């Protein structure tokens, strides 16, 4: 329901007028009114007194007719004072109305503010409720299916495992893939829960972007090789060090390369790049992942970064995954003050970019002589 706009008083044009100033005005008008009333009482008393004493208080030379003189001496000042009294009482009324109007406007403004707050809360509640619904359906579908396949394949292995070595290897691979899928989903769901609760922990350190890129490619390279996809790296110039959470940035790159592998046909090419550039006036390192897949439709370019959103496929088939990877990547990039986006022309592949701002050296924490990034085992990379 939309509330009507608050009525605007003549003072609305002067937003700096305060209630105190209006009260002062009302007090002044009340004083004038009181003065007029006192004068009228004084005049009436004088006239009554004159009648009682029957004395003349205008000089003889002023008017000759005594009756006329008397009428004038009473009527004129009386009329003036009655007029003043009328004017001041009206002005007093107007001042009072202004105060009432001011109070109503303040109340309406407060109501408007409250309404906006409530609308915000409602939108947030709707968002959380949709998130919860998506979470439930994802958990039920994405967890149930791999678990069911693992269960039935294990049953087959238990019963016929020793009979056919070729099928046995196929089944083991299936179990391994499904377990990987499950662990990826659980990791993403945990990240979503931490992000929503504001409990994502950031482990900051100064990192060489090339080193981070290589660590991510070591993980994704295996996936690409399995599908006979060429994974190329284009990083020519020296890159400035970045103050980042190494594992989280690796997570973003593996998400993007993982998607590229998923959507690129067998034998395609994925090109990963990192270069120093400026974005909106800031010095940044820009990472890019280009593929030769189906591309992203214009109307989906923003939506694919929303929680659980998956762009519909041309053949209507369900896309493997839960629609969480890009949303998590966006949260990570946003945290470091960067930007993530996709450029694509349908059927001509797509290129995902993300930037990370270069922090001035002075802001870097004192780092040990050899970079911690080189010491960290790859096993810690998800
Ligand atoms: N390289 C790509 N080419 C075409 N479409 C893509 C590409 N990368 C992402 N998309 C679209 O964006 C959607 C969201 O991607 P996102 O990584 O968030 O989820 P997902 O890969 O479907 O599942 P998850 O990453 O949670 O396992 C994808 O489902 C797909 O529709
Ligand atoms: Mg993904």
Instruction: Give the Cα-Cα-Cα angle 381, 191, 146 (nearest 5 degrees).
Output: 80
| Nearest residue by C-alpha to atom 1 in ligand 1 | 260
pLDDT at 283 over 60: yes
pLDDT of 59 higher than 80 = no
Which of residues 125, 159, 174 is at a domain's end?
Answer: 125
Place of tokens 């809360």: 121
Q: Near ion ligand 2, which residues have CB within 5 Å?
A: 259, 321, 325
Tokens of 282: 């800031």
CATH code for the domain of 150: 1.10.287
Segment of 62-76, 79-93, 246-260 carrying the highest mean pLDDT: 246-260
Placement of tokens 């690129």 in the chain: 264
Question: How big is the chain, counted in residues?
Answer: 382
Residues 17 and 46 in one domain: yes
Strands 269-279 and 340-344: unpaired
Q: Average pLDDT in the 87-115 region?
A: 91
Same domain, 233 and 367: yes
Which residues, including other chains, have CB under 8 Å from residue 237's CB and lie 6 or more apart? 275, 276
Residue 377 has pLDDT above 50, yes or no: no
Q: Is 259 in the pocket of ligand 1 (CB under 6 A)?
A: yes
At residue 370, the pLDDT reads 44
Residue 309 within any structural domain of the chain: yes
Same domain, 368 and 233: yes
Cα–Cα distance for residue pair 125/201, rounded to 1 Å? 25
Mean pLDDT in the chain? 83
Ligand 2 mean position to 349 CA, how many Å?
A: 16
**Which residues form the domain of 38?**
10-125
Which is nearest to 242 in space by CA: 302, 286, 199, 180?
A: 286
Mean pLDDT on 100-104? 91
Structure tokens at 372: 């911690």
In a shared domain, residues 173 and 31: no
For residue 320, give the ligand nearest its CA.
1
Percentage with pLDDT > 70 across the chain:
83
Provide the CATH number for the domain around residue 287: 3.30.565.10
Residues 6+ apart with CB under 8 A from 94: 29
* Residues 218 and 315 both lie in one domain: yes
User: Is the CB of 268 inside a 6 Å radius of any atom of ligand 1?
Assistant: no
- Domain membership flag for residue 147: yes
pLDDT exceeds 60 at position 55: no
> CB–CB of 264/291 below 8 Å?
yes
367 and 219 fall within a common domain: yes
Q: Which of 160-164, 192-196, 253-257 shows the lowest mean pLDDT across its residues?
A: 160-164
- Could you tell me if 15 and 101 lie in one domain? yes
Q: Does the pLDDT of residue 72 top 70, yes or no?
A: no
d(CA 29, CA 354): 67
pLDDT surpassing 90 at residue 52: no
Is there a single domain that holds both residue 103 and residue 26? yes
Phi, psi of 289, deg, nearest 5? -130, 110
Question: Do residues 188 and 163 share a domain?
Answer: yes
DSSP helix/strand/coil, 246? helix
Q: Structurally, how many domains does the chain consist of?
A: 3
Collapsed DSSP state (helix, strand, coil) of residue 356: strand
pLDDT at 4 over 60: no
Per-residue confidence at 64, pLDDT binned at 50, 70, 90? low
Residue 265 has pLDDT above 80, yes or no: yes
Residue 116 within a domain: yes
Same domain, 351 and 311: yes
| Final residue belonging to a domain, choices 176, 196, 216 | 196
In a shared domain, residues 23 and 103: yes
Per-residue pLDDT reduced to its tens digit, 286-331: 999 999 999 999 999 999 999 999 998 877 777 788 899 999 999 9
Separation of CA 379 and ligand 1 centre (Å): 25
Separation between Cα atoms, residue 180 and residue 26, nearest integer Å: 78
CA of 20 to the centre of ligand 1 (A): 60
Confidence of residue 375 (pLDDT cuts 50, 70, 90): very low
- Three-state helix/strand/coil letters over 2-27: CCCCCCCCHHHHCCCCCHHHHHHHHH
Residue 60 has, within 13 A of its CA and on its CB side, a CA count of: 0
Note whether 237 and 288 are same-domain residues: yes
Residue 4 lies in a domain: no
Q: Is 291 left (phi over 0), alpha (psi -120 to 50) or beta?
A: beta
Residue 1 lies in a domain: no
pLDDT digits (tens, 9 = 90+) for 168-209: 888 888 899 899 889 988 999 999 989 988 888 899 999 999
Q: Is residue 65 over pLDDT 70?
A: no
- Looking at residues 5-18, what average pLDDT do you find? 54
């Amino acid at each position: 329901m939309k509330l009507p706009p608050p009525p605007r008083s003549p003072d609305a044009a002067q937003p700096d007028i305060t209630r105190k100033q209006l009260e002062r005005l009302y007090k002044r008008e009340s004083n004038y009114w009181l003065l007029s009333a006192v004068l009228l009482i004084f005049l009436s008393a004088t006239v009554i007194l004159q009648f009682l004493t029957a004395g003349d208080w205008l000089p003889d030379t002023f008017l000759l007719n005594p009756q006329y003189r008397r009428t004038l001496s009473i009527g004129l000042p009386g009329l003036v004072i009655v007029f003043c009294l009328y004017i001041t009482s009206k002005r007093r009324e107007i001042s009072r109305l202004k105060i009432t109007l001011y109070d109503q406007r303040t109340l309406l403004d407060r109501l408007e503010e409250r309404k906006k707050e409530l609308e915000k809360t409602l939108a947030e509640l709707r968002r959380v409720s949709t998130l919860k619904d998506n979470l439930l359906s994802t958990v039920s579908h994405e967890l149930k299916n791999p678990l069911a396949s693992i269960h039935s394949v294990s049953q087959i292995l238990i019963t016929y495992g020793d009979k056919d070595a070729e099928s046995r290897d196929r089944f083991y691979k299936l179990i391994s893939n499904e377990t990987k899928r499950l662990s990826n989903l659980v990791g993403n769901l945990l990240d979503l829960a931490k992000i929503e609760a504001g409990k994502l922990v950031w482990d900051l350190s100064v990192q060489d972007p090339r080193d981070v890129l290589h660590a991510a490619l070591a993980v994704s390279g295996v996936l690409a090789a399995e599908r006979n996809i060429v994974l190329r790296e284009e990083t020519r110039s020296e890159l400035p060090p970045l103050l980042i959470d190494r594992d989280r940035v690796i997570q973003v790159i593996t998400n993007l390369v993982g998607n590229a592998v998923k959507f690129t046909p067998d034998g395609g090419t994925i090109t990963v790049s990192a270069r120093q550039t400026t974005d909106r006036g800031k010095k940044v390192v820009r990472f890019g992942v280009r593929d030769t897949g189906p591309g992203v439709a214009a109307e989906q370019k923003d939506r694919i970064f929303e929680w659980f959103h998956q762009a519909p496929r041309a053949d209507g088939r369900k896309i493997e995954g839960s629609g969480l990877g890009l949303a998590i990547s966006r949260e990570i990039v946003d945290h470091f003050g960067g930007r993530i986006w996709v450029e694509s022309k349908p059927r001509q592949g797509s290129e995902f970019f993300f930037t990370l701002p270069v922090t001035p050296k002075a802001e870097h924490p004192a780092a040990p002589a050899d970079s911690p990034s080189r010491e960290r085992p790859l096993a810690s990379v998800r």
